Chain A
Amino acid sequence: MDYRNTLTTCTYCGCGCNLFLESLDGKLTHTTPCKTSPVNEGKLCIKGWNVHQFVQSEKRLNKPLLRKDGKLTEVSWDEALDFTVSKLKEIKEANGSDSVGFFASAKVTNEENYLMQKFARAAIGTNSVDHCARL
């Protein structure tokens, strides 16, 4: 039996409550609030108490998909990444750097947002990076 209790930060609203994700043999089972957090001081809202529930949903994407003959089809990572990169190169060469746009995200981590804007600015050469702060 592999029981774990991992302290992390909620993924829903901007409060940023600290909580423990409980897992048993790699499966999330419960969420409990962190009592020593200065943000939520041992409390959670209904969304927070249930935040583990969507993570291992059957509907999660677990393979890359590529549109073939109009349909999204499961493919290997290699095929998905090769397609993505060759199309990005082709479009950049034909239409210039500003023909590529990026939606960063208010849902992913700081590190991931940083990397996306770095790729956009340094590799593609565009400042067209935005996210849904406005929504």
Chain B
Amino acid sequence: MAGLAASFGSGAMTNAMGELETTDAIFIIGSNTATTHPLVATRIFRAIEKGAKLIVADPRKNQIAGFADLYIRHKPGTDVALLNGMMKVIMEKGLADEKFIAQNTEEFDAFKQGIDNFTVEEASEICSVSVKDIEALAKMYGEADRASIVYCMGITQHTNGVNNVKSLANLSMLTGNIGKIGTGVNPLRGQNNVQGACDMGGLPNVYTGYQPVTLGAANKKFAQAWGVDQLPTNIGLTIPEMFAGIENDEVKALWVMGENPVVSDPDADHVKKVLKKVELLIVQDIFLTPTAKLADVVLPGVSFAEKDGTFANTERRVMRVRKAIDPVGDSRQDWEIIQEISNRFGFEMNYDSPEDIFNEIASLTPSYGGISYERLEGVGLQWPCPTREHPGTPFLHKDGKFTRGKGLFHAITYNPPAEVIDDEYPFWMTTGRVYAHYHTGTMTRNSKSLDFEIPEGFLEINPVDAQNLDICDGHQIKMASRRGEIVTKIMITDRVDPGVVFMPFHFEETNVNKLTNPAYDPIAKIPELKVCAVKLEKA
């Protein structure tokens, strides 16, 4: 999101999901859409039926790549080189939208200079993709009347994640595919309310609606509304920084609500060590997750089916969550747990319902200002929705009027991933999801039907590599990185190239995040979960 915020002024999906049906070309990069966002994939399938071209670039030939007019298999972590190569072709073939660039953007010359110094042949070499394919890719996207970019964690979970996103923003501005229906740069959010958690200030640098904690006006406004003399103005710690803080004895207490970092975060053995070290670990969850097992105190909250509230989806649509059944056992509403702790701590809260809390959010958050529970009956509302009369905003940056004023081009050069293959660790390893499971599996693996579909983890490996290792489908293999090792079943498939392996991260018994690299993007602080170097051995 940091990349999009820098380019456009707003870090969110620029267009609505339904608009994918109205586009002429869809470029998916680093998203296993049919598996991770099936209902977005539905729109894409409909667009194909209506004649849209589908382009997929991904190191792994995922399901939706099977439907693509053009599939590009570039090497893991080489996205910037691929995109720069593509933009080089677009400029050479005269497919750039010069009018849009002149009217609505800035810093184009610096960007152009960077591209001028780069060749398609270099891109081809770095990515292991033919010049012909890069040209075809550029033409298919560049010649479309309206083209839409869809991306996900395959773009962001890299040490170059922000550069990857800025490159996609460059691509959309270069061709004028932004600020119109059926265009845009669309990050698919992986979690049901990741957009909402960001909107609500669940970040170390902002209050609700991305109002900076460092800014005098917002700081004062919140202090006054919350009835305190002052609020901290220093930017807080991100998750990897909190872990580092525990190691240097600066962070002593951690309150984890509804997250499972032992399974979701890179270098799992290290995460475990850190969580064991912290003096006070409070875990609020619905299951005794591997993270909760390390806690000093576990507070049982409730699932979505037992609560009222709102979620914001990937297209910024705020929608109601409604209580269907009473809390299980002696578990309590999560908002009541926080309120009770706050009152006992000496900071008074007396909300009588989630709606009461929501009204306070709306009163302090311009982008949510016009939203109320009453208005959310029906189809929900897409923020920004500043007033009671405002209909919500399906797509951002209308007519090239970017949130930040003008769209900002960035000159981006290719850098390799933090860890590259060598003689000792000769395989590229990448991670992702499978269709029947979700994130750390806490919920889906407790669902009978879904557990039946895929009960255990597995490693995808190319037939050539399997033959060289003398190992059969379904057999066990030992996989190790510089950080840890696991033993797992293998699945032989040409979804991955020789030299590349893929593993889903839902399974705590075969926790692939013991191996992943915690090195992170310097700006977004997103770890490089999508590329590391591993070695394989018959188990």
Contact = CB atoms under 8 A, between A and B. Distances in A.
A32 interface: no
B237 A15 contact: no
Contact of B234 (A21, A23, A119, A127): A127
**Of A37, A63, A101, A125, most B-chain CB atoms within 10 Å:** A101
Contact of A134 (B40, B331, B527): B527
B321 A133 contact: no
Interface string B294-306: 0111111101111
Contacts, number: 431
Given A13-B191, A122-B231, A108 B258 contact: yes
Interface stretch (B128-136, B284-292, B411-419): B284-292
Given A81-B340, A100-B253, A123-B346, A109 B309 contact: yes
A106 B255 contact: no
Contacts of B344: 81-82, 85
A94 B332 CA distance: 30
Interface string B50-68: 0000000000000000000
Given A105-B257, A112-B334, A12 B192 contact: yes
Given A64-B297, A107-B193, A99 B328 contact: no
Contacts of B300: 60-64
Given A95-B252, A110-B358, A111-B354, A117 B297 contact: no
A60 B37 CA distance: 27
B357 A135 contact: no
B237 A101 contact: yes
A118 B17 CA distance: 32
A6 B236 CA distance: 39
Contact of A130 (B36, B203, B312, B449): B203
Given A77-B332, A114-B200, A61 B288 contact: yes
A46 B434 CA distance: 11
Interface in B304-351: 304-307, 309-315, 317-326, 328-332, 334-335, 338-342, 344-347, 349, 351
Given A54-B446, A100-B251, A62 B319 contact: no
B514 interface: no
B238 interface: yes
A123 B347 contact: yes
Interface in B169-219: 188-205, 207-208, 213
Given A13-B36, A100-B255, A108-B257, A77 B314 contact: no
Interface in B135-191: 156-157, 188-191
A91 B204 contact: no
Contact of B237 (A10, A14, A36, A128): A128
Contacts of B340: 81
A134 B155 CA distance: 12
A104 to B, nearest CB: 3
B208 A114 contact: yes
Contact of A53 (B199, B282, B331, B449): B449
B197 A23 contact: no
B524 A118 contact: no
22 contacts: A8-B320, A38-B380, A39-B39, A45-B39, A46-B435, A60-B287, A60-B329, A61-B285, A61-B300, A81-B340, A92-B253, A95-B252, A110-B358, A111-B335, A114-B200, A115-B357, A122-B223, A127-B234, A129-B236, A131-B239, A134-B156, A135-B264
6 cross-chain pairs, A with B, having the tightest CB-CB distances, nearest first: A62-B329, A16-B313, A109-B309, A127-B236, A104-B202, A14-B189
